[in-house]
Amino acid sequence: MTTMATPTQPQPTKPNAPAPVYNPKSESTAVKRIKSTIFHVVALALVAMVLYPAIWMISASFKPNSEIGGANNALWSNNFSFDNFVTAMDGIGGVSTLTFFTNSLILAVGAVVGTVLSASISAYAFARINFPGRGLFFGMMIATLLLPFHVVIIPQYIVFQQLGLVDTYVPLLIGKFLAADAFFVFLMVQFMRGLPAELDEAARIDGAGHVRIFGSIMLPLMKPALISTSIFSFIWSWNDFLGPLLYLNTPEKYPLPLALRLFVDQTQSSDYGAMIAMSVLALLPVLVFFLVFQRYIVEGVSTQGLKG
Amino acid sequence: MTQSPTLSRRSSSSASPQPRKSRRRGADARAGYTFLLPWLLGFIALTVGPMISSLYLSFTNYNLFEAPKWIGLDNYTTLLQDERFLQSVGVTLNYVIFGTPLKLAAALAIAMLLNSKRKGQGFYRSAFYAPSLIGASVSIAIVWKAMFGDSGPVDQGLSFFGINLGGWVGNPSMTMPMMILLTVWQFGAPMVIFLAGLKQIPADLYEAASMDGAGPVRKFLNITWPMLSPVIFFNLLMETIHAFQIFASAYIISNGEGGPAGSTLFYTLYLYLRGFSDFRMGYASAMAWLLVVVVGIITLIFFKTSKSWVHYSGDSK
C-alpha cells in the first residue's frame, strides 16, 4: 500500500510533429499515425461500451413508459419529455423527493465534516508525535482496513437500539466523527509523513505546541489530502445503503438510496420511467462532483489507492 | 503494509536521561494520546467492543428482546447444516473467484492499452473510471436490473445475434454472470492504480528488451508483470476483500430476497436477513465471525504466497 503513495509524474505533453523533409523514417510516421488511429478507434469503442449503461439510463429517464424495454430499445426517442422527472419529484409514501435530497445532503455534509476533523487530528498523532504505543495502534488501524465491517454491525445495532438512537442520524454519523473510516486516517498519515520534519522542529524551537503546529502548519499544507477525503467521504455517504437501511424506519428521514428502494418496492416496475428518473436524480450530485473534481478524484485513486 | 513508523528521534536520548528531554517525552505522550483520542474512542467503542460482543453473541441465542442464552457452538454447527447458508457461501465464492480476476484482467489490459504517450489519455482514464464511482449505488442496481430484464436492451441485443436467453434477472443460471458483469464494469478504479504503476516502470527496460529481440509476450512476462507485482498484489487483496462484502446491488436486484432460487443470496445478504429480518442475532454474529476468519485466512495466504511472486524494488530477484 505504501507503494501507492508515490505521486505520478505529470505526463510530458509531447506534440508528435512529423518531419516535413523526406527521410527514410517517414514511413514509420505514417505507420504511427495508423496505429494511433487504431488506438483511438479501439479506445472509443470501449468507452462507448463502458458508458452505455449510463447513457441508456439517461435516455430511458426521458422516455415514456411504453418505450422503455419492449420492442423499442433505441436510445433516441421522439417522445422525450420531463414527465418522468415530474413524477419522480413527487416522491413516495407522501414524502417529497426534495426531502430525500435534503436528508442525503445532511448526512453527506455531516460525514465530510466529521471525517475531515477526526481523521486529520488522529493522523497528526500517528504521523508527527512520538508516543509509546504508536506503532501498535498504527498496525491496528491498518488491520481495520481489511476487516469486514459486518462483524461490528450487529452489536452496534444492539447498543444504538438500547440507547434509543435507532431512527436517528446519530448511528450513521458518529463513526465519521470518530475516524472509523481508517482509510482516510491512513491517507492523511501518508500525506503528512511526506511533509518535511524541519517544519515542526522549527516551530517547536519557536515555542509552538502541537495544537499550533497542527492548526497553523500542518492543516494548511494538507489541503490536497483534505480535498480528496472530502470528495470521497461525500460520495461514499451519498451512495451508502446498508447504514440507512439498518437504522432508519420513517420515510421522512430516508436519504435517496433508501427512498429509491421504497419506490421500487411500492411501484414494482409499474412506473419504470419514474423509477429510472429518480435513479438519475440520485446520481446527479455524484456525476456533478465527478465532472468538477475529475482530476482530484482520479489522481486520488492513482496516488492513494482509494477505491471508488 | 504494516510497517511501523520510524522512531528516529528516540536514539539520541537513550544515552543519559536528560530532564528536559524526558519532560518533552512526557508532554509528547500526553499530546499523542490527546490527538489520537477521536480514533482511539472510535476504535474501542465501534470496533473492538462490538467485535468482542459479537464473538460472545455468536455462542448465544439472542433475538434482541430477551436476554442472550448461551448455547455453546450450536450456531456454528447449525450453520454447517443450513442449506441456505451453504448456498450463500457458494454464491459468494463463485462471485469472488470469477469476478475479481476478470475485473483485474480487464483493468490491467486496458491500463496497458492506455499506457502510451497518446492524446486523450486523461479523457479515457476518467471515462473508464466513472463506473467505479457509481457502480455500487442503488441507482445502478436498478438500471442493471432493467437492462438485463425481459426484453431489456441486453436481451434484445443478444437476440439480434440469434442468442435467446430471455431476461437474465429471472433466470437462476444467468444472475451470477449478470452480477459478475456488474463488478467487471467497475474495473476503472484498479485500472487507474495499474496505470500509475505502469508509469513507474523505466522505459529503458523495454528498450533493452527490444534490442535483445524480446517480443511483447516476453516483455510482459519478464518486465511488466514482475515490476508491477506490488500493485497487482495490492489490487488483488483489496478487490478480493471488497468482493466478499457486496450487498446493496444484490439486495436491490433480488428485492432483498436473494432470488431467484437463491442464486443471488450473497453472504452478507443472508447475514442481513438472519440478523435483521429474523432477528437471529446470535446466528448472524456467528456468520459475521466466520467471514472475519475466512477473510483473515485469505489475507494471510496472500501475504505468505506473495513472497514468491511479488517483487519490491531493491529486492534481489
A194 shares its domain with A235? yes
Is A113 found in the same domain as A79?
no
Mean per-residue pLDDT, A127-140? 93
Q: What is the CATH number of the domain that holds A281?
A: 1.10.3720.10
User: How many domains, in total, are found in chain A?
Assistant: 2
Q: Which residue of B has its CA nearest to A292?
A: B126
Using the 3D structure, point to which of A62, A85, A108 is the last residue of a domain: A85
pTM: 0.87
Domain covering B74-306: architecture: Orthogonal Bundle (1.10)
Q: Are A222 and A120 in contact (CB under 8 A)?
A: yes
For chain B, give percent helix, strand, coil, nearest 5.
70, 0, 30
Q: Mean pLDDT in chain B? A: 88
Domain assignment present for A14: no
Query: Do A101 and A68 lie in a common domain?
Result: no
Residues A106 and A217 in one domain: yes
Are A33 and A172 in a shared domain? no
Please report, as a single letter, which amino acid is at residue B254.
S
User: pLDDT digits over B94-118, tens only?
Assistant: 999 999 999 999 999 999 999 887 8
Does residue A111 share a domain with residue A58?
A: no
Last residue of a domain, one of A48, A64, A85: A85
Asked if B281 and A158 come within 8 Å (Cβ–Cβ), the reply is yes
User: Closest Cα of chain A to B41: distance in Å?
Assistant: 7
Residue-wise pLDDT tens digits, A61-110? 998 877 776 555 677 777 788 888 888 888 887 889 999 999 999 999 99
Is the minimum CB–CB distance between B252 and chain A shorter than 8 Å?
A: yes
Range of the domain at A221: 91-305
The verdict on a CB contact (< 8 Å) between A286 and B134 is: yes
Q: Does A15 touch chain B (CB under 8 A)?
A: no
In a domain, A277, yes or no: yes
Based on the fold, state whether residues A140 and A81 are members of the same structural domain.
no
Out of A85, A115, A133, a domain closes at: A85
- Tell how far CA A242 is from the center of its chain: 16
Q: Is B46 on the interface with A (CB under 8 A)?
A: yes
pLDDT in tens, B278-311: 999 999 999 999 999 999 999 999 999 998 889 8
Domain-embedded: residue A61: yes
> From B47, which residue of chain A is nearest by alpha-carbon distance?
A152
Same domain? For A187 and A232 the reply is: yes
Which chain A residue's Cα is nearest to B252? A261
Say how many CB pairs under 8 Å bridge A and B.
309
The four Cα atoms A225, A231, A232, A237 give a dihedral, to 10 degrees, of: 140
The residue ranges of every structural domain in chain B are 3-57, 74-306
A172 plus A30 within the same structural domain: no
Question: Does some domain include residue A113?
Answer: yes
Asked whether residue A13 is assigned to any structural domain, the reply reads no
Residue A290 lies in a domain: yes
Q: Which of these, B120, B102, B121, B123, lies nearest to B112 by C-alpha position?
A: B121
Assess whether A246 and A283 both reside in one domain: yes
B126 touches chain A (CB under 8 A): yes
Contacts of B231 in chain A (CB under 8 A): 3-4
Query: Is the CB of B42 less than 8 angstroms away from the CB of A175?
Result: yes
